[in-house]
Structure 1
Amino acid sequence: MTASWEKTEKNLGVLEVEVSVERVEAALDKAFQKVVKKANVPGFRKGKVPRSIFEARFGVESLYNDAIDILLPEAYSEAVEEAGIFPVDRPEIDIDQFGKGQTMKFKAKVTVKPEVKLGDYKGVEVPVSEVDVTDAEIAEELERLQTRYAELIVVDEEAAANGDTVSIDFDGYVGDEAFEGGKAENYALELGSGSFIPGFEEQVVGMSTGDSKDVNVTFPETYHAAELAGKEAVFKVKLHEIKRKQLPELDDEFAKDVSEFDTLDEYKTDLKTQIADRKKRENDAARENAVVEAVAAKAEVEIPEAMIEGEVENMMRDFDNRLRQQGMNLEMYTSFSGQTVEDLRTQMKSDAEKRVLNNLVLEAIAKEENISASEEDIEKELQTMADMYKRSIDEIRSILGANGSLSSLNDEITLRKTIEFLLENSKEIAASAE
């Protein structure tokens, strides 16, 4: 096989490939073995038709599409490796020649990973914040814990307020017609959560147990259900019950309930340490982001749209996985939020482009500085994973190898070492007060 690569634009080029006659014949043989199993020829059982009779009846050309499907993927992969290019999108392929007794010739129009022109990446100024824990931050953390451990107490004599959880029936109409998904009974709704259509929860505030009310709303123009977008609607609402959060007292008993400490003072001391550790991790992450974005801003690179769209797909997949961990999915989220999947993709595009840029720049710096993951680095990472999942290193290695993640692990370690290199070669300055 021969392959030649020629760039036609910055990130585009044409890969011309010629595959030997012997490999074409082998692909035709495999194609015949596949299609003969289904061929109906009088006098022969399926799968037992001789090749010569099959070709005489159906023509050798009937094997071409299957043979191309067999040969093209492996030939393209080999050509990419031979040319030393890194495709970032599906190629546009034109078959110029394919037939019995012939070589296979094809051209592939390929979008490749862009070249990065690095700016100055050493001596970048990085803001550093002091880790200081205030009494107000400790009080805020305790208040958050109080809310988490609060009990819901039924309120009979007072009107519903923001923060209350109400049990309601509702039945929605546009004009005189009920619409799908607009009806529920004994639905638990936390007022002020923003989980319903804008304007709905605000009108339930002030209702009392047993009250009925028409709640008038207008669906957002971007509502996921096109037939409701921008429409005025009325929900007939009946309130059955109001529950209000009753916060526990901040005392030694509370400390015993939420921690391993016997007194509130001991727990506050531990909280201060936890908050300090968290702020240090946040500061470290902020320093890493700052140094990467600073060097990325100095680089010149033209990012193919395909790479950005690919990163958006990754972000959407991650978002859907996080929703599923919370007992939701993408369809439910769009239903509650009034956003479409396309809205979410548009919102993510800017971050996706930034991620792609940062990764490209880090890869270029790693190459420039000969930074890579050593065997010792990989072993250390595998040991950390083995300890975390209580498995042996060999098991972890086997699992990662089976799903193709070992190379990704190598890349992650290399990027991490590159960021460490940038931080070591940066200039720390005091962060400005907000």
Structure 2
Amino acid sequence: MKAELIKKEGNKVTFKLTVDNNKFESAVNKAYNKTKGKYNIPGFRKGKAPRVVIETQYGKGVFYNDAIDMLFPEVYPEAIKELNIDPIDRPELDIEEISKDNGLVILGTVEVKPEFELGSYKGIEVAKVDNTVSEDEITLRLEEMRNKNARVLSVEDKALANNDTAVIDFEGFESGEAFEGGKGENYSLVIGSNTFIPGFEEQLVGKKAGEELEVNVTFPEEYHAENLAGKPVVFKVKINDVKVKELPELDDEFAKDTSEFDTLAQLRADVRAKAEEEAVKKAEAEMRNAIVEKVAANTEIEIPKAMVESQIDNMLMELNYQLQYQGLNLQQLLQMTGRTIEELREERREDAERLVKSSLVIEAVAKAENVEVSDEEFNAELENLATMYKMEMDKLKSSLRDSDMEDIKGQIKIRKTIDLLVESANIA
């Protein structure tokens, strides 16, 4: 195999890849053996016709595309290594020649990572991030614990108020006709949660268990169901039950019931310790991000569109994973918010460009400073992962693909590079 750089214009590289005829012929034979069962040739059982017969019937190049599809992934990595280029997208290919004399000759065009001059990255000045934890924050966390441990009790003859829970049956009608998805039974609705259509919950305030009423509301113009968007509707509602939240007293008994501590003072001290630990980590992360952003601001880069689009793909994939934990998916989110996938991508474009630029700059700093990952650092990281996932080290290693290992090493290198930037920064 021979690789030749033809030209480079901006971030696009054109190259020529030549595979000798023997290697190409071997690939054609593999393609024949893999696909010969698809061809029906008179006088031969299916899959038994010789290659030459199939080529006579369907043309000499009948197996070429399959052969190239099998061969290219094998020779392309060797080619980009030989050419010393770093592709960021799939190449566009054009078959220039297939002959006994020259074998397979492919012209390829691919977008590569941009070349740029790294700006100043040492001695970056950043402000120290405050990591103080206030008493109000500790009180708020304890209140959250109270709410998580609250009891919800039915109360007779109580008028509904904000934060009460109404257990209701309801059915919605538009122009006198019941509409799909507008009916529910024994639904628990917290008044003031803004879970339902604007105006719905407010009309339940002051009502009691056993009462029936009609709630008049108008669906928002951007509502995901087009047949209801902007339409006035009527909900027939029956209040089955009224419930209130009973919060436990914040005392020593509360500490004993909800934690491993015997006193409220001990619980409060533990809450503070954890809050301070989180604050330190958050402040450190913010400072590291600020340093990277300042280094990136010092460097001019023409960011390839393909890298930005790939980053947006990754961001939307991560968003979809997060939604799945809530029982939703990306398509449902789009329906609920009335947005298109194009609008969602555009909303994330600026952040994607910032992340791509930062990653390119960190990579350049790592190269300039000869940042490498030692075997000891890599194994230490694997030990941390094994502990995190409660796996034996050998089982973890056997489950990792080569690409996974490279990703892990890449993350370590990024971390070490940012450590270097932090060590040289002026933090005031």
Deviates more, 1:113-122 or 1:366-375: 113-122
* Cα distance between partner residues in 2 of 1:114 and 1:229: 47
Change (3 A) 1:147 1:368: same
Q: How does 1:152-301 map to 2 (within 5 A)?
A: 152-209=152-209, 210-221=211-222, 223-301=223-301
Alpha-carbon separation, structure 2, partners of 1:140 and 1:199: 29
Is the 8 Å Cα contact of residues 129 and 284 (structure 2) preserved in structure 1?
A: no
- Matched to 1:170, the amino acid is F
Q: Distance in 1 between matches of 2:220 and 2:253?
A: 47
Judging changes above 3 Å, is the alpha-carbon distance between structure 1 residues 161 and 15 closer, same or farther for their aligned structure 2 residues?
farther
Superposed displacement of residue 342, structure 1:
4.1
Most deviating of 23-32 and 340-349: 340-349
Q: Report if aligned partners of 1:195, 1:336 keep a CA contact under 8 Å in 2.
A: no
CA distance in 2, matches of 1:346, 1:177: 39
Give the TM-score of the pair, scaled to structure 2.
Answer: 0.90
The answer to whether the 8 A contact 1:196-1:337 is kept is: no
Counterparts in 2 of 1:46-195, with a 5 A limit? 46-98=46-98, 103-195=103-195
Moved more, 175-184 or 258-267: 175-184
> Which amino acid counterpart does residue 312 of structure 2 have in structure 1?
V
Separation in 2, partners of 1:14, 1:204: 69
Higher mean alpha-carbon deviation, 365-374 vs 202-211, is at: 202-211
**SS of match in other structure, 2:281:** helix
Over residues 13-61 of structure 1, what are the superposed CA-to-partner deviations in whole Å (9 max), with x where a residue is unaligned? Answer: 2222222222221222122112322322233222221223222333323
Is the alpha carbon distance of 1:200 and 1:124 closer, same or farther for their aligned partners in structure 2, counting shifts above 3 Å? farther
Which stretch shows the higher mean deviation, 168-177 or 149-158? 168-177
SS at match of 1:17: strand
> Could you tell me which residue of structure 2 aligns to residue 371 of structure 1?
371
1:286-324 per-residue CA deviation (whole Å, 9 max, x = no partner) reads: 111111111111111111122122112212222222222
User: Given the superposition, is the C-alpha separation of residues 159 and 83 from structure 1 closer, same or farther in structure 2, using an over 3 Å criterion?
Assistant: farther
Q: Within the alignment, does 1:413 sit opposite 2:394 as a pair?
A: no
> What is the TM-score when the length of structure 1 is the normalising length?
0.89
How many Å apart are 1:156 and its aligned residue? 3.6
| Structure-2 change in CA distance of 1:264 and 1:293 (3 Å) | same
Given that 1:196 and 1:336 are in contact with CA atoms closer than 8 Å, whether structure 2 keeps it comes out as no
Structure 1, unaligned runs of 5 or more: 430-434
Distance in structure 2 (CA, Å) of the matches to 1:312 and 1:258: 42
SS class of match (1:31): helix
The offset of 1:215, in angstroms, is: 3.1
1:254-296 Cα offsets, whole Å, 9 max, x none, are 1111211111112112222121111111111111111111111
Q: Which amino acid aligns with 1:423?
A: V
- Does structure 1 retain, via aligned residues, the 8 Å contact 2:212–2:238? yes
Cα distance change on mapping 1:239 and 1:89 into 2, 3 Å? farther
Return the alpha-carbon distance in structure 2 between the equivalents of residues 193 and 5 of structure 1.
Answer: 63
Question: Residue 116 of structure 1 contacts residue 360 of structure 1 at CA under 8 Å; is this kept in 2?
Answer: no
Q: Measure, in 2, the Cα distance between the counterparts of 1:180 and 1:97.
A: 61
Residues 1:56 and 1:337: Cα distance change in structure 2 (over 3 Å): closer
1:108 Cα deviation from its structure 2 partner: 2.1
Distance, in Å, in 2 between the alignment partners of 1:218 and 1:28 is 62
How far apart are the structure 2 equivalents of 1:304 and 1:124? 26
State the 1:372 CA deviation.
Answer: 1.8
1:348 aligns with 2:355: no
* In 2: Cα distance, 1:60 partner to 1:138 partner: 78
Residue pair 1:220, 1:338 contacting (<8 A) in 2 also: no
Q: Aligned letter for 2:366?
A: A
Q: 1:40 to 1:267 in 2, by over 3 A?
A: same
Contact in 2 for aligned 1:154/1:244 (Cα 8 Å):
yes
Distance in 2 (CA, whole Å) between partners of 1:385 and 1:178 is: 54
**Deviations, residues 408-427 of structure 1 (Å, cap 9, x unaligned):** 11010011011111111111
Number of residue equivalences: 427
Which secondary structure state, in structure 2, belongs to the residue aligned with residue 371 of structure 1?
A: coil
Distance in structure 1 (CA, Å) of the matches to 2:136 and 2:161: 26
Aligned letter for 2:70? I
Change (3 A) 1:364 1:125: same
Alpha-carbon spacing, 1:26–1:199, altered in 2? closer, same or farther (3 Å): farther
Q: 1:55 to 1:6 in 2, by over 3 A?
A: closer
Partners in 2 of 1:341 and 1:215 — Cα distance? 33
Q: Higher mean Cα deviation, 102-111 or 244-253? A: 102-111
